[in-house]
Amino acid sequence: MQPWPVSAQTRLLVVAPHPDDETLGCGLLLQQVLAAGGDVRILLMTDGDNNPWPQRFLERRLQIDLTARTRWGARRRAEVMQALERLGLPATALQPLGWHDMEVTTRLRDNFSDSIAAICAVIEAFQPSLVCGPALRDSHPDHGAANVLCRLALAGTNPSTALLAYPVHGGADTQGYPLAVDATPDQSRRKLEALEAYRTQMALSGRRMRRLGLSPERYMQTGGGEGDGRLPWRPTALLRQWLRLLVATPAGVQDWAWGQAPLSRDPDGTFRLHRSGAGPIFAKLHLDWPSPWIFDHWGWCEI
């Protein structure tokens, strides 16, 4: 795996959908930027307030109302402040947006302009040379949507800024993420200490989080290239009547029923989306049904 170079000129913006993602994904890289004399900011999209099972376990409650969610979000915000301090960052490095956990995709769809504007404001104020955000194919819906929002925000501000994607959910393999961080023992120790600040998450997921904390940080560089509109999915005719296709471009977002989307089908069964306009295009296949399962089945793709 290849290392990512950093220097005193590096200005790193880490995009974290929830408290702990910044440490799991970039806890070593941000330490190395600071050690090189560079600057770091953390763009925290949500406070992780919709985190019901750890909250039920720690608070010994079944019902979680708005008041309980708000209290939990404040607790997780306090944890991220403690984690950043252990990584060597001042409190001013945190740039919180205050969005709601498990609602980043909804914001992208229903409040696209304001969501992009909020991210652009942070980018324009900090002027990062490097942005690190979640992987597009991360199975947590907030993570995939965060990648899309970052890509579209950068396309409208500074498309030349390097964008690295880090995996958290979904078991991505090393070959898919060829860039890595070579950590010193002290940097690895500080990353684990930062993770221990997340008591709300360690209660039920401590083994997984420590395993991720001890694993090499892996990244892939995103952006570039033109697609031909091909979709990776071939849903059955029976399922298509229930499916929706969410498409995001720099011009905005559309959420079609599958049968109303501007699609054609190749002889080999591949579906293609027909679009106009410049810039990246992202598509998400989904069922608009309530479900206790939080992770995406199909997720996002870039076409």
Residue 123 CA from chain centroid, whole number: 16
pLDDT at 60: 96
Neighbours of 101 (CB within 10 A): 22
Residue ranges per domain, the chain?
Answer: 2-221, 237-302
Residue 98 CA from chain centroid, whole number: 15
Look at the alpha carbons of 118, 123, 124, 126 in this order and tell me if their dihedral is positive or negative: positive
* Fold annotation for 2-221: Rossmann fold (3.40.50)
> What contacts 201, CB < 8 A, 6 or more positions away?
20, 51, 54, 209
pLDDT at 243: 96
The beta-strand segments (E) located in the chain are: 2-3, 11-16, 39-46, 94-99, 130-134, 162-166, 179-180, 218-221, 243-249, 252-257, 263-265, 271-273, 282-287, 299-302
Strand-pairing partners, residue 245, are: 256, 285
How many contiguous H segments (helices) and E segments (strands) does the chain have? 9, 14
pLDDT at 159: 81
Q: Which residue has the tokens 């301090």?
A: 85
CA distance from start to end of the chain: 27
pLDDT at 172: 47
Q: What Å distances lie between residue 173 and 163, 167, 177, 206, 233, CA to CA?
A: 19, 9, 7, 21, 21
pLDDT at 173: 52
Q: Model's pTM, two decimal places?
A: 0.95
pLDDT averaged over 10-residue windows placed end to end, the chain, 303 residues: 83 98 97 97 98 96 96 98 98 98 97 98 97 95 97 89 92 69 93 98 96 92 76 94 96 96 95 85 91 90 92
Query: With contact defined as beta carbons under 8 Å apart, do 177 and 167 qualify?
Result: yes
pLDDT at 4: 80
Q: Which of 25, 20, 40 lies closest to 133 in space, CA to CA?
A: 25
Q: How far apart are CA 282 and CA 299, in angstroms?
A: 10
